[in-house]
Amino acid sequence: MFKKILIANRGEIACRVIKTAKKMGILTVAVYSDADKDARHVELADEAVHIGGSASRDSYLQADRIIAACKKTGAEAVHPGYGFLSENEAFARKAEEEGIVFIGPKHYSIAAMGDKIASKKLANEAKVNTIPGWNDAIETAERAVEIAKDIGYPVMIKASAGGGGKGLRVAFNDKEAFEGFTSCRNEARNSFGDDRVFIEKFVEEPRHIEIQVLGDAQGNVIYLNERECSIQRRHQKVIEEAPSPFISDATRRAMGEQAVALAKAVNYQSAGTVEFVVGKDQSFYFLEMNTRLQVEHPVTEAITGLDLVELMIRVAAGEQLPLAQKDVKREGWAIECRINAEDPFRNFLPSTGRLVRFQPPKETMFSADTEHLYGVRVDTGVYDGGEIPMFYDSMIAKLIVHGRDRAHAIALMREALNGFVIRGINSNIPFQAALLAHPKFVSGDFNTGFIAEHYGKGFQAEDVPHDDPDFLVALAAYMHRRYRARASGISGQLDGHGVKVGEQFVVVVMDDKGQHVHKPVSVTDFHGQSGSSAVAVGERSYKIDSKAPLGSIRVEGIVNNRAFVAQVERGAGKNPLALRVVHNGTRIEATVLSPLGARLLSLMPYKAPPDLSKFLMSPMPGLLVEVSVQPGQQVQAGEKLAVIEAMKMENVLFATQDGVVGHIAAAKGESLSVDQVIMEFA
């Protein structure tokens, strides 16, 4: 076994690999960029080597520097994680040539599966179902239309070197095939320097289901069941689960056997994933093979009880797989939510900055530990007070739950999301909560178009309906009563002027139109020691018990004999007197007043918000890479004004109306904060 390995990655996957290495008694080396000098993976590793500037191309993509770091530290092997150099055939070959073991498949397996056209041909030879299509590069748009007609519409036009949704179009007729081929080819040339394009049948109502495989140097290959990854937003996975609620045992076995046949055809030695598109009739077709560990590997670990990183390391060290196909278990149901630094209410724009609070829910399962299953696991590379840099992808953490069945897993995940406290940056937790509550998700009736179909116009607060909105009002009144009880006990209050706590309150919340709604509430039978109260909101009554300390954001307790987890904090919104209450993805800003205070508030004049239409403001934190206009220039609606780069993505800002550019307040190369003024219109 290796004595020391280097992890050529960052973030949660680097931390994940380090934990397994420690369990196995292997020393670890981290590599880091300028932006990651204080990162969690650097702290967890036994030693760390600086490899360059903040941008990936100056650090984590520098293969020579990583190999030099292996030699300098005496690391015998390198684990690439996922992303960066994990599927780079040249890096795997170079490591082998330098006598460093690549913890992953052999370079020839990466090469065979890395090219979509070549991998399709290999799959056909291995008798793996492939989508009907034309697998050779197509030269002209006219030829593309002929081929599309032969296959039968709808068809998918794809770049051979594509990925992440780039270089991909769906055509339903000749005109769309002609135009789609041209734009696909241009996009592929610009994005990947490779303009080869092919065409295949477009599967309607498709599901994205993948099979985890594992091979060793002795020629043994097994499959570890499937993962359902159909809940995607712009071709990026959002929720993954294992097993799939859709496929039958017969389909599972057939997909698994084909995945194994493909892995054997390329002499596959490591963990890998064979991705399939599955039609509504359970017909399935090979999409591609990911020759690395997947982001969503924890759901497979939960249902099989296997540590995939440990098995990767053991196989790379020449050991035989410790189990055969008949030994692979499938127990319970696991779900993973990707918690990303993005603002779902601002069209998922990246959100970078300092994590003022980072308090994940209580963990009962742990990465690199398959002794403790059935519970909650958090894989992350960040910490309370740490920084989310703008140079890398937006994932903050992966939240994984393992339940007895699918309904239990969904309930566990909803509760875990309720207790996940993230402040300082925005996260997609409200969106995840909405997805988990959606009737179609709960019933398992979804495909890859689910998010586009149900949230096609973006995500709004009203997309998260609460099954009991009065509970949020009751919780605000209950917590306010506890704060008042503490205030009334402060010593040194003047006789006759002490804090008096009544039982009648009015909770004032804003409705969708920005109008105040007054809800009379009574809080009776208050017990400061036990933390319990009876709260009445209109006709409804709630018996709430909670020992949560005042000032902590996470509030756990019992309401009407059922456990709940919610988040409550004072002064989080624009009103310093308001309580922000968050539960099951729904958020309210509640001001709890005495009946007299509420009456006086209703007499206050309405203050209109300022008119900001004459400013272009940054919708996210990021780097201003381009200012496309000059002072005095006339612009029309839809014209490009500026480009901001954040988290490996360029975001173009367009004019929303005609106007004349006045003052430009920010310069190219400047780091912007949210709502910082870039320019003003005359």
DSSP-assigned letters across all residues of 352-405: -EE-SEEEPPPPSSBTTB-SS-SEEEEEES--TT-EE-TTS--EEEEEEEEESS
pLDDT at residue 376 is higher than 60: yes
- Looking only at the bridges linking them, the beta strands covering 649-654 and 640-646 are antiparallel
Lowest mean pLDDT among 84-93, 408-417, 606-615: 606-615
What would the mean pLDDT of 549-557 be, rounded to a whole number?
93
User: Vertex 107, ends 223 and 69: CA angle to 5°?
Assistant: 110
Least confident of 173-182, 390-399, 454-463, 582-591: 454-463
Give yes or no for residue 484 having a pLDDT over 90.
no
More confident call, 646 vs 238: 238
Would you place residue 166 in the very low, low, confident or very high pLDDT band (cuts 50, 70, 90)?
low
Under a CB-based contact definition with an 8 Å cutoff, are residues 64 and 93 in contact? Answer: no
Residue with the two structure tokens 């055809």: 265
The arrangement of secondary structure in 133-201, i.e. its CATH architecture, is 2-Layer Sandwich (3.30)
Q: What is the pLDDT of residue 554?
A: 96
Q: Return the pLDDT at 631.
A: 93
CA distance 567 to 128: 49
What pLDDT is recorded for position 316? Answer: 98
Statement: residue 163 has pLDDT above 70: no
The reported pLDDT for the residue numbered 183 is: 86
Average pLDDT value for residue range 622-630: 92
Assigned token pair, 459: 């995500």
Order across the sheet with 166-171: list the strands. 133-134, 197-201, 155-163, 166-171
Strand order in the sheet with 375-380: 284-290, 271-278, 207-215, 221-233, 236-242, 333-340, 395-403, 375-380
Of 289, 293, 292, 291, which Cα lies nearest the Cα of 116? 289
Q: Is 80 exceeded by the pLDDT of residue 131?
A: yes
Does domain 207-451 correspond to CATH entry 3.30.470.20?
Answer: yes
Task: Check if the beta carbon of residue 165 is closer than 8 Å to that of residue 84.
Answer: no
Write down the CATH number for the domain with range 615-681: 2.40.50.100
- Residue 525's pLDDT is 84
pLDDT band at 165 (very low <50, low <70, confident <90, very high): low
pLDDT computed for residue 211 by the predictor:
98
pLDDT per residue as tens digits for the range 575-597: 888 999 999 999 999 999 999 99
Percent of the chain whose pLDDT exceeds 90? 72
Which secondary structure element, helix H or strand E, spans residue 661, and what is its range? strand 659-664
Closest by alpha carbon to 148, among 105, 186, 118, 178? 178
pLDDT beyond 80 at 647 = no
User: What is the C-alpha separation between 581 and 472, in angstroms, rounded?
Assistant: 6
pLDDT in the model for residue 129: 92
Residue owning tokens 């953490």? 397
Please give the structure tokens belonging to residue 400: 């994984």
Pick from 157-171, 479-493, 553-567, 637-651: least confident? 157-171
pLDDT at 185 (0 to 100): 86
CA distance 175 to 374: 52
Q: What is the mean pLDDT of residues 216-220?
A: 96
Report which secondary-structure segment, H or E, holds 453.
Answer: helix 450-454
Integer Cα distance of 179 and 156 in angstroms: 12
Closest listed residue to residue 325, CA positions, set 304, 309, 297: 304
- Is the fold of 469-489+500-602 the same as that of 615-681? no
Among 50-64, 406-420, 539-553, 601-615, where is mean pLDDT lowest? 601-615
Please, what sign has the CA dihedral across residues 363, 368, 372, 376? positive
pLDDT at 19 over 80: yes
Q: Assess whether pLDDT exceeds 60 at residue 133.
A: yes
Residues 6+ apart with CB under 8 A from 526: 481, 485, 503, 532, 533
Mean pLDDT of 174-188: 89
Q: What is the pLDDT of residue 167?
A: 74
Instruction: For residue 99, give the 3-state DSSP assignment.
Output: coil
Beta pairing partners, 239: 231, 337
> What does the DSSP 8-state code read for residue 26?
-
Least confident of 44-58, 407-421, 599-613: 599-613
pLDDT higher than 80, residue 609: no
Q: Inform me whether the pLDDT recorded for 162 exceeds 70.
A: no
CA 298, CA 241: separation in Å to the nearest integer?
10
pTM, rounded to two decimals? 0.86
Domain ranges across the chain = 4-103, 133-201, 207-451, 469-489+500-602, 615-681
CATH fold for the domain made of 4-103: Rossmann fold (3.40.50)
**pLDDT value at residue 405:** 97
Q: Is the pLDDT of residue 512 over 70?
A: no
pLDDT digits (tens, 9 = 90+) for 81-119: 998 999 999 999 999 999 999 999 999 999 999 887 789
Q: From CA 558, how far away is CA 471, in angstroms rounded? A: 12
Q: CA–CA separation, 241 vs 33, rounded Å?
A: 33
User: pLDDT value at position 442?
Assistant: 96
What pLDDT does 201 receive?
86
Q: Which two tokens stand for residue 535?
A: 């709260």
Lowest-confidence segment of 132-136, 204-208, 277-281 by average pLDDT = 132-136
Write down the pLDDT at residue 513: 66
Give residue 423's pLDDT: 94
Work out the mean pLDDT of the chain and round it to a whole number: 92
Please identify every residue annotated as catalytic: 288
Q: Can you tell me the mean pLDDT for 23-38?
A: 96
- Is the pLDDT reported for residue 187 higher than 90? no
469-489+500-602 CATH, one of 3.30.700.30, 3.30.465.10, 3.40.50.720, 3.40.50.1860: 3.30.700.30
Q: Is the pLDDT assigned to residue 48 strictly greater than 90?
A: yes
Q: Which of these, 287, 79, 285, lies nearest to 163 by C-alpha position?
A: 287
CA distances from 338 to 64, 229, 244, 381, 394 (A): 31, 12, 18, 13, 10
- 136 vs 477, which has greater pLDDT? 477
> pLDDT: is 673 or 165 the higher one?
673
pLDDT at 66 over 60: yes
Would the pLDDT of 164 be above 60? no
User: What's the pLDDT tens digit per position in 312-322?
Assistant: 999 999 999 99
In the predicted structure, residue 606 carries a pLDDT above the cut 80: no
Cα 655 from Cα 680, distance rounded (Å):
12
Q: How far apart are CA 356 and CA 378, in angstroms?
A: 18
Nearest-angstrom CA–CA distance, 88 and 80: 10
Amino acid (one-letter) located at 439: P
When mean pLDDT is compared across 288-292, 392-396, 675-679, the lowest value belongs to 392-396
Closest to 429 in 3D by CA, of 344, 352, 353, 363:
344
Query: Percent of the chain at pLDDT above 70?
Result: 99
Question: Could you tell me the two tokens for 457?
Answer: 């116009």
